[in-house]
Amino acid sequence: MSLVMTTASVPDRDKVAYWNDAVSRTLVPMTVTPRGDGAFDGRIATDRLGYLQVSTMEADAKQVSRTPALIARSSEALLAVGVQISGTATFVQDGRRTEVGEGDLVVYDTTRPYSFDYHRRFATHIFQLPRRTLGVSDSEIRQVTGNAIGTEDGFGAMLLPFLATLASSPADGYPPAVANRLAGNVVDLFATLIAERAHPGDTNADARSHLMLRILDHVNRNLSDPDLSPERIAQKHRISVRYLHRLFESEGTTVGRLIRQRRLEECGRELARRGRTAPTVSAVAQRWGFVNPAHFSRAFRAVYGVSPREWRNLRTAEDDFGRSPTVTPATGTVPETPPLPTVAHGTDRHGADLPPSSG
């Protein structure tokens, strides 16, 4: 059900103060200054779709400003997208000034100062979502803010009709699962829009590829951390866990499988090394993030066909007596390099997939 706040029944002398409070509580703290001398009139209706907030505001001409002092009062970093339904506005953020006309879209970051100057009565849709869900960098967002995006501008031309329809539909008409899915779709669309505007020569696939490279590098550098998990990875890269899983779906794997695969590869390499003082199997497992020796042994056998201890003995024997022809682990000899893990089912407490028991 929509939350509606209006100045209609508020005494004239209290309308401006009421509207300042209503807008600040519904959106983010800001200062509103009416441009006219008469009684101010304004109405704002707000719905939620999961973590996405959708508001429609209609009001008389006014100036809106968000200062560093007001930003300090906010507890969460939000990204906002405004769609101008009627009227015009001058928008300023990050040193750029743009004129926003009817049908234009504008992106702004609530963690940095900005201002709107609405020259006459206007109406606008405002979409707000946690900035961390987008999976785009601060520098990319800065390249998009302070610019009006019109209906003739590439991806914006497709996005604007969808947003207008979404804002006009009652949110309580969607079951929670559908609402969350819609919110996720909007996040993907906004991330695509920012990537397109920040990197005009790139495609959305390029933007996702860059993010995946950063995630893979983070995984490789933190394999030894037993708490490495989808939640930690998503938090580090300021994206939602849902969006992280979606990235890996396009790669044909899961976050848990990747973590398990890389850990087993490093364990296999270390166990195969010769040295005067070879570490114990449990020490190697713990060094690469396996906290449960039994789980590590099952996972290793499921992939390589032998136990970790047998793997080390076989590789050591190879080095002692010279390389012999290599075949797959299933035939009883050892491959030159560790094979990639097969797809497994089930997950451990950190989201890493568990292999089937090998008895």
Q: How confident is the model at residue 111 (pLDDT cuts 50, 70, 90)?
A: very high
Threshold 0.85, pTM exceeds: no
Q: At what angle do helices 308-321 and 255-272 cross, to 10 degrees?
A: 40
Contact 63/116 with Cβ under 8 angstroms?
yes
The per-residue pLDDT for range 223-273, each reduced to its tens digit, is: 999 999 999 898 887 777 877 888 888 777 899 999 999 999 899 888 887
- Arithmetic mean of pLDDT over the chain: 81
Q: How confident is the model at residue 152 (pLDDT cuts 50, 70, 90)?
A: low
SS3 category, 241: helix
CA-to-CA dists, residue 74 to 19, 27, 145, 325, angstroms? 18, 10, 19, 66
Residue 21 burial by CB count (10 A; 0-12/13-18/19+): exposed, middle or buried? middle
**Tokens of residue 318, six digits:** 């190879």
**Tokens of residue 182, six digits:** 């819609």
The per-residue pLDDT for range 48-86, each reduced to its tens digit, is: 888 899 999 999 999 999 999 999 988 889 999 999 999
Which residue, among 42, 52, 54, 53, has the nearest Cα to 18 in the 3D structure?
42
The predicted structure's pLDDT at residue 299: 92
Contacts by residues 333-337 (CB-CB < 8 Å, ≥ 24 positions apart): 334/306
Q: How confident is the model at residue 154 (pLDDT cuts 50, 70, 90)?
A: low
The CATH code that applies to domain 3-198 is 2.60.120.10
Which residue, among 149, 304, 185, 285, has the nearest Cα to 226 in the 3D structure?
285
The per-residue pLDDT for range 5-49, each reduced to its tens digit, is: 999 999 999 999 999 999 999 999 999 999 988 899 999 999 988
Q: Where does the chain hold its CATH 2.60.120.10 domain(s)?
A: 3-198
The predicted structure's pLDDT at residue 202: 54
Alpha-carbon span 206 to 199, nearest angstrom: 9
Bigger pLDDT: 314 vs 77? 77
The per-residue pLDDT for range 180-238, each reduced to its tens digit, is: 888 888 888 888 888 777 766 555 555 567 778 888 888 998 999 999 999 989 888 77
Percent of the chain whose pLDDT exceeds 90: 43
* Torsions phi, psi for 317 (to 5 deg): -65, -40
CATH entry 3.40.640.10 includes domain 209-331: no
Q: Where does the chain hold its CATH 1.10.10.60 domain(s)?
A: 209-331
Residues whose CB falls within 8 Å of the CB of residue 41, separated by 6 or more in sequence, listed in order? 7, 8, 15, 59, 60
Contact 211/248 with Cβ under 8 angstroms?
no
Residue 359 burial by CB count (10 A; 0-12/13-18/19+): exposed, middle or buried? exposed
